[in-house]
Copies of this chain bind each other. A is one copy, B any other.
Amino acid sequence: MTTLKNDTFLRALLKQPVEYTPVWMMRQAGRYLTEYNATRARAGDFLTLCKTPALATEVTLQPLDRFPLDAAILFSDILTIPDAMGLGLRFAQGEGPVFDKPLKDEKAIHALRVPDPDTELRYVMDAVTEIRKALDNRVPLIGFSGSPFTLACYMVEGRGGTDFRDIKTMLYSRPDLLHQILDKNAQAVTAYLNAQIASGAQAVMIFDTWGGALSHSAYQEFSLRYMRQIITGITREKDNTRIPCIVFTKGGGLWLEAIADIGCDAVGLDWTIDIGDARRRVGDKVALQGNLDPSILFAPPEVIAKETEKILSSYGHGSGHVFNLGHGISQFTPPENAAALVEAVHTLSRKFH
């Protein structure tokens, strides 16, 4: 059992009373911070940074040393699982992640193997352990994974930022093959999140970055269904403490009721939805996390405060809201504007609690 110095984030996820709305930022350890860039330069490349627990720990804590954030998130990449599956991940200069051996034929798909997280993704578990130690219970640590569908996009397309032609062709022409990949991915993610929880993650989040590219019915069959499978299979309580699970489908606002129904504790929202409408739609079922457009952090502090207030007052009174951006923070964000956001959330939210 641990005694967290600040458990506001966990309480908000469980809709228990809080004194203010907790806040963290997706991609809070990232390129907008000079100290992050310095550590990354020392690592040499991005994958080495992810695979070296001491360095992953260092960058995970950097934003917490700058801003009074209410949660830390494991520094890692969503593609660690397909990397451990042997698809040959590398980060090509200027084009993001690339797989040297994407799933381009049936044989490769049949051969897909669920990695053992305790051995093949040991570096992630070591990072979780080391981060927990370094955090010394300041705030909770969030573990995470990509969703089975989002991982499959990269695994089939071989890279990000595509038009989804290959994966959608598979989805509509050979759904059996895609289901094979997704089932393997769901098994892998379940084991991976459970290992993170065993190593010390105090909440987990599933990032479904690309589910929003699907049609409403394909989303249910090819993304949501496998996230439900994961939630059914992960540890929800440890040492008599609930391990909350957050699901975030970017562009999933239309499907909110369905997402809230898969057994998660909280749903992440992007900025296209009014969080007050979202709250009315999900009722008491789940907490909500979000949903400031990260571009607002390019504006002056008074605009950031005004837009923060709009979200806080739209959510309204009571617990169940974790403030966040609607997507990862941009590398071009002035860090002082991130500070202004955290300050605004902490100050302006007190009247709602």
CB under 8 Å from chain B, chain A span 243-267: 251, 253-254
Asked whether, in the complex, the Cβ of B172 is within 8 Å of the Cβ of A307, the reply is yes
Asked whether, in the complex, the Cβ of B172 is within 8 Å of the Cβ of A296, the reply is yes
Q: Is A330 an interface residue, CB under 8 A from the partner?
A: yes
Asked whether, in the complex, the Cβ of B165 is within 8 Å of the Cβ of A299, the reply is no
Asked whether, in the complex, the Cβ of B214 is within 8 Å of the Cβ of A272, the reply is yes
Q: Is A88 an interface residue, CB under 8 A from the partner?
A: no
Q: Is A64 an interface residue, CB under 8 A from the partner?
A: no
Asked whether, in the complex, the Cβ of B163 is within 8 Å of the Cβ of A330, the reply is yes
Q: Nearest chain-B residue to A169 (Cβ)? A: B298
- Knowing that A165-B295, A165-B330, A254-B272 touch, tell me 4 more A-B residue pairs with CB under 8 angstroms: A165-B298, A168-B296, A173-B298, A215-B271
23 example contacts (A-B, Cβ-Cβ < 8 A) are as follows: A163-B330, A165-B298, A165-B330, A168-B293, A168-B296, A171-B295, A172-B296, A172-B299, A173-B298, A173-B299, A173-B300, A173-B303, A212-B272, A214-B272, A214-B293, A215-B271, A215-B293, A215-B326, A216-B271, A216-B272, A251-B272, A254-B254, A254-B272
Q: Is A112 an interface residue, CB under 8 A from the partner?
A: no
Asked whether, in the complex, the Cβ of A295 is within 8 Å of the Cβ of B164, the reply is yes
| Interface residues contributed by chain A, number (CB under 8 Å) | 35
Asked whether, in the complex, the Cβ of B169 is within 8 Å of the Cβ of A216, the reply is no
| A271 proximity list for chain B (CB < 8 A) | 215-216
Q: Is A309 an interface residue, CB under 8 A from the partner?
A: no
B169, B171, B173, B217: the one within 8 Å of A310 (CB)? B217
| A169 proximity list for chain B (CB < 8 A) | 295, 298-299
- Knowing A169-B298, A299-B173, A300-B173, say if A274 contacts B212 (CB, 8 Å): no
Q: Nearest chain-B residue to A174 (Cβ)? A: B299
**In the complex, what distance in Å separates the CA atom of A332 from the CA atom of B168?**
13
| A172 proximity list for chain B (CB < 8 A) | 295-296, 298-299, 303, 307
In the complex, per-residue mask of A198-232: 1 if CB is within 8 Å of any chain B CB, else 0: 00000000000000101111110000000000000
Asked whether, in the complex, the Cβ of A218 is within 8 Å of the Cβ of B298, the reply is no
B163, B216, B218, B299: the one within 8 Å of A273 (CB)? B216
| A298 proximity list for chain B (CB < 8 A) | 165, 168-169, 172-173
Asked whether, in the complex, the Cβ of A215 is within 8 Å of the Cβ of B168, the reply is no
In the complex, per-residue mask of A152-173: 1 if CB is within 8 Å of any chain B CB, else 0: 0000000000011100110111
Q: Nearest chain-B residue to A253 (Cβ)? A: B254
| A299 proximity list for chain B (CB < 8 A) | 169, 172-173
Q: Nearest chain-B residue to A172 (Cβ)? A: B299
| A293 proximity list for chain B (CB < 8 A) | 168, 214-215, 218
Q: Nearest chain-B residue to A254 (Cβ)? A: B253
| A296 proximity list for chain B (CB < 8 A) | 168, 172
**In the complex, what distance in Å separates the CA atom of A298 from the CA atom of B167?**
11
Q: Which 9 A-B pairs have the closest CB atoms?
A: A168-B295, A172-B299, A169-B298, A215-B271, A173-B299, A216-B274, A253-B254, A215-B293, A172-B303
In the complex, per-residue mask of A287-305: 1 if CB is within 8 Å of any chain B CB, else 0: 0000001011011100100
